[in-house]
Amino acid sequence: MIAIQFYIDEDVFLASASELRRRGIDAISTQEAGRRSCDDESQLRWASENRRTIVTFNVGDYLALHATWLRSGRSHFGIIASSQRPIGDLIRRLGNLHATLSAEEIQDRIEFLSAW
């Protein structure tokens, strides 16, 4: 089982990636990856090329991208979508998801953080 590696979208708290790493979870932010201000399609493509699961508060746009990619036969390494929530709650829920799902299990799925 391969662990999920998170890619934190720029609309999510910048400190999220470092807090996840402090807890032993592989995470990188768009800022750390040098991808600030790239469009959503480009972010999802980069995440997929790097076998990372994107975490975003931009639910509507990523729901549409998920559907478009699946219809066109494109594969991604997962999308975790959430309404904006306090950083402590975000980190706790991402930790729960990380402890439960593998990278293989989240591939081509969209997960709503509210369920975790």
Residue-wise pLDDT for 64-102, tens only, equals: 999 999 999 999 999 999 999 999 999 999 999 999 999
Edge-to-edge strand order for the sheet containing 27-29? 27-29, 6-8, 53-56, 79-81, 110-112
Nearest 5°: phi and psi at 103? -60, -35
**Overall pTM surpassing 0.85 (yes/no):** yes
Mean residue pLDDT across the chain? 96
Residue 107 pLDDT class (50, 70, 90 cuts): very high
Question: CA–CA separation, 64 vs 32, rounded Å?
Answer: 26
- Write down the pLDDT at residue 1: 86
To the nearest 10 degrees (0 to 180), the angle between helices 59-71 and 40-49 is: 60
